[in-house]
Amino acid sequence: MIDKAIEVAQNGERFLVACHRRPDADSLGSALGLIKTLRAIGKEATLFMPESIPDSLLFLMENEEGIAEVPEGTRYDATWIMDIAAKALIPPRFPSADVTGPLVVVDHHHAHDDIGDVVVRDTSSAATGEVVVRLMEGLGLESIPEGAATPLYAAIVSDTGGFRYANTGPATLRLGARLVEEGADPWQVAYQLFERWEPARLRLLSAITATLETAFDGRVAIMRVTREMLAICGANDDMVEGMVNYARRVDGAEIGALLWEWQVKTPAGSHVETKISLRSSGNADVSQIATALHGGGHRAAAATQLDISIDEADELLRAELAKYFADA
């Protein structure tokens, strides 16, 4: 439905652009790339950002400022939400339909909920950032808009693990080269996304890897992070991002899993839920497991969030893994 999305962009004047809950580099980079694209064709575009941006992604913002609440009386011709596969990932305080206008989903996950009035979902793309470039070309832009190259490059680098994952193909590599030619700084992106670690994060890595256990004859490696561990290490939730990959690296493991106690804040107070992050080291399709647990994602990386304890989540995960391996 890329033609329909292009029509929405051409016919509207004022747009809101949002990331999924807990924005990552692909979601934020794609959102910023789309905002620069819409502005390049003379449209008004605003970033909706009700949550804090991880420190590792702040460099993408440059002079951009998001809004946490839509001003009263504001209406949009459409709202674009980037890199979203599940309704549960809609960000908090998301405006009602009479404010957002039609909801345009731009995504690349093959496991997903039925969400969006207009959906541009290319499951052959390594990252949503690639889909944004196709939208850009469909809108007649021959070059990458000013300020868009680095966010889009970060989106692609993040979701390909630095061009290392199996979703990295020739077209993705060519697009990476094009973005560098048009202004993206490979070292800055690599440093911010992969290299810059605070001492607290290194302490947290040590604590998390100490919980490592294997299951299903070594085919699965599972780790945990609790609120207590975060407090002891002086770490925050942003520092947990990417830790699941250490489980995936265990020799012989087809699936890496991280169970993460996540504090949910509400007007009535706060409570702890459990996030489950899954990564595949090869042929395993972790999106099947995440979908069974009411989450989503793609073959190599998927996740869910459940309103249960970490021990209960561990039991559910193992039950779904048993079904998955029995059917495989």
* pTM for the structure as a whole: 0.87
> Cα-flanking dihedrals φ and ψ of residue 257, to 5°?
-135, 140
- Cα(282)–Cα(300) distance, integer angstroms: 8
- Pairwise CA distance, residues 113 & 130, whole Å: 21
CA 195, CA 81: separation in Å to the nearest integer? 29
The domain at 199-327 falls in which architecture?
Answer: Roll (3.10)
Domain ranges of the chain: 2-194, 199-327
Contacts of 104 by beta carbon, 8 Å cutoff, 6+ apart = 5, 8, 78, 79, 80, 81, 116, 117, 118, 119, 120
Per-residue pLDDT of the chain (328 residues; tens, 9 = 90+): 799 999 999 999 999 999 998 899 999 999 999 999 999 999 999 999 999 998 899 999 998 999 999 999 999 999 999 999 888 889 999 999 999 999 999 999 877 778 899 999 998 999 999 999 999 999 999 999 999 999 999 999 999 989 988 889 999 999 999 999 999 999 999 999 999 999 999 999 999 999 999 999 999 999 999 999 999 999 999 899 889 999 999 999 999 999 999 988 777 788 999 999 999 988 899 999 999 998 888 888 888 999 999 999 999 999 999 999 998 7
CA dihedral 195, 276, 83, 110 (to 10 degrees): 120
Structure tokens at 60: 């993408």
Task: Report the topology of domain 2-194.
Answer: inorganic pyrophosphatase (n-terminal core) (3.90.1640)
